[in-house]
Amino acid sequence: MEGRELHEAIMELARRRGFFWPSFEMYGGLRGFYTYGNLGTKLKRNIEKAWRRFFVDPHGFLELDTPVLNPLRVFKASGHLEHFKDVMVECFKCHRVFRADHLIEEEAGLEYVEAMGEEAIKRLLREKGIRCPECGGDLGEPQEFLTMFQTQIGPMGGEPGFARPEAAQGMFLNFKLGFHHARERLPFALAQIGKVMRNEISPRRGLLRLREFTIMELELFFDPQEGQCPWFKEVSDESVKLITEEMEAEGFKEPLEVTLGEAVERGYIKTEWQAYFMGVSKRFITYLGVPPERQRFRAHLPEERSHYSTQTYDHEVYLESWGWIEVAGHAYRTDYDLKAHQKASGVDLTVRRADGSRFLPHVVEPSFGLDRLVYVALEVAYRKRDGRTVLALPRWIAPIQAAVMPLVARDGLPERAREIWSQLKDAGLTVEYEEKGSIGKRYARQDEIGTPIAVTVDYQTLEDDTVTLRDRDSWRQVRQEASRLPELLRSYINGEREFDELGRPL
RNA sequence: GCGGCCGUCGUCUAGCCUGGCUAAGACGUCAGCCUUCCAAGCUGAAGAUCCCGGGUUCGAAUCCCGGCGGCCGCACCA
């Protein structure tokens, strides 16, 4: 299965089995919002856990949870108010809508018009006498379109508030205290998993483009004079597929294959820190089930980059359904944000060096779209076998870790199976009990939601208290004593053991 | 926002062109029976404002208009 068909099959499965579905359906629906069901919530949580395991915990970084709603002052200072806004013009005649800055660039041969600001755009539009490029018609008054959601904080039209379009500002606003909590030593990082909102013009493709979504972001603060990353040697031999800014500019489609060490040496990646996180990023995405050959890093051209970034690499994954899609952005934000907030607030955010000099730390940011990762994990795991669907999710992210079932629902088998179910739950595993229908049907149901292990209680169990364990991917079975399951299954789910090590083959 | 396609139980579909019994089937769900390892079978049940609103008509899932929503393309995606 490929292309759109695959996407539809996954969306259907997601809805039918309770991973996710469009929100507000009972009121007619609204594009760009999705609701996660039981399995989706668990999958999402497991991906979050994996992210912490790769990005936060090994380095002792600090986590934050900051407000979604921010006052105007924050986004004025951060530059978002200026840059998350596009000036649009509509043609009177054919009613096509264009971005004014792009129109000026094309028609007047200018560059980086967006950066000139709103007034200049409006003026240029008049001065250059620009008309509709499609039909030659007159253009209407330029309209601003702000991609941030706006509201009022407090009663009676209090203070304008905006929903954050990224979690990063929370880390910058709390840099000072965060730095203190990190014992005032660089480098350190603040990380956050949280909801963000963007009023996208045209949300599409299910979870891939939402108006409200969850982002997993990390801001690494370091002294630009000491740009070395202490962990870099762990990934410097890791090879990555790179489309550098130069290659992008010249239209090369085939990525360069280099090690991260070489990429830094040759200047493709500006800092060791960024290269380090790209290496971790590759390992993290691989851990979610995406093979390395389906991953690449693509540099943004200057006009594609956000206002705060001096170098950005998108981490992209190849999907059968949609081609290359972005799952993470790796941005070198320099001291842009701290400088902006220091200037606007008057609060000194500089840090002292051993020699007494003061400076603003530089920032490298890996930023993941969690919802996209949920979809990617599902699509990459989607298999067909003998006409059945198997979700071959890596077992460490599977929403249900094991299913316990009696071979048949009688003769005391359900009772024993329920006991085992309880023991596994008590051991901290996410386990389902199922006795409905035939055993084959139950295996098929569990395959479809990606449950890696099925535990079956049969007549032999009543004699010697052993059960069969069945592997989702190979459908092979082994036999093991019920009392050893909590320990064995836990290590299996963690990846410390392989299926063959779980018992005697049958 | 423009253009093309589309919208029927939880899911997938039939019915629509050519208006007419109580909107049909399969899967799934529930109850019961059966069942000793890969979506078996039997009996019964529940489940649909046919996306919404308006119009035409004796009569609309079906025809017409408007809206909402979805998918794709264009544009946009920091």
Query: Do strands A34-36 and A20-22 pair parallel, antiparallel, or not at all (unpaired)?
Result: antiparallel
Q: In sequence order, what are the beta bridge partners of A256?
A: A242
For A293-348, the pLDDT digits (tens) are 999 999 998 877 888 888 999 999 999 888 899 999 999 999 999 999 999 999 99
- Kindly report the pTM of this predicted structure: 0.93
A437 touches strand B (CB under 7 A): yes
The amino acid at residue A442 is: R
A468 touches strand B (CB under 7 A): yes
Å: A145 CA to B17 C1': 44
Distance from C-alpha of A199 to C-alpha of A175, rounded to nearest angstrom: 27
- Closest residue by Cα to the C1' atom of nucleotide B75? A98
Nearest CA to A470 out of A437, A444, A494, A496 is that of: A444
Å: A450 CA to B69 C1': 31
List, in order, residues 6 or more apart from A362 with CB less than 8 Å away.
A221, A222, A223, A224, A227, A271, A332, A333, A334, A335
**C1'-nearest nucleotide to the CA of A390:** B39
Q: What is the mean pLDDT of chain A?
A: 91
A298 touches strand B (CB under 7 A): no
Tokens 């309770």 appear where? A18
Distance from C-alpha of A41 to C-alpha of A297, rounded to nearest angstrom: 28
Å: A28 CA to B57 C1': 29
pLDDT at A402 (0 to 100): 97
A412 touches strand B (CB under 7 A): no
pLDDT at A203 (0 to 100): 86
Six-digit token string for A76:
């004025």
Q: In sequence order, what are the beta bridge partners of A456?
A: A405, A468
A344 touches strand B (CB under 7 A): no
pLDDT at A374 (0 to 100): 95
pLDDT at A181 (0 to 100): 95
**C1'-nearest nucleotide to the CA of A209:** B77
pLDDT at A263 (0 to 100): 96
pLDDT at A93 (0 to 100): 64
Q: For strand B, list residues 473-502 of chain A whose Cβ lies within 7 Å of it.
A: 475-477
A291 touches strand B (CB under 7 A): no
A336 in helix, strand or coil?
A: helix
**C1'-nearest nucleotide to the CA of A443:** B38
Q: Is the N-terminal amide bond of A67 cis, ω within 30° of 0?
A: no
Å: A319 CA to B66 C1': 39
Q: For strand B, list residues 55-84 of chain A whose Cβ lies within 7 Å of it.
A: 80, 83-84
Q: Dihedral sign, CA of A47, A277, A176, A172? A: negative
A98 touches strand B (CB under 7 A): yes
Query: Count of residues for chain A?
Result: 506
**C1'-nearest nucleotide to the CA of A199:** B77
Q: For strand B, list residues 385-404 of chain A whose Cβ lies within 7 Å of it.
A: 386-389
- Mark the ranges of chain A whose per-residue pLDDT is less than 70: 1-2, 91-97, 111-117, 133-136, 157
**C1'-nearest nucleotide to the CA of A165:** B78
A407 touches strand B (CB under 7 A): yes
Å: A405 CA to B35 C1': 14
The answer to whether the CB of A117 falls within 8 A of the CB of A63 is no
For A15-50, the pLDDT digits (tens) are 999 999 998 888 878 888 999 999 999 999 999 999
**C1'-nearest nucleotide to the CA of A435:** B35
A102 touches strand B (CB under 7 A): yes
Å: A314 CA to B35 C1': 54
Q: What is the ipTM of this complex?
A: 0.91
A309 touches strand B (CB under 7 A): yes
Q: For strand B, list residues 137-166 of chain A whose Cβ lies within 7 Å of it.
A: 147-148, 165
Q: For strand B, list residues 221-250 of chain A whose Cβ lies within 7 Å of it.
A: none
The amino acid at residue A179 is: F
Q: What is the CA radius of gyration of chain A?
A: 26
For A453-475, the pLDDT digits (tens) are 999 999 999 999 999 999 999 99
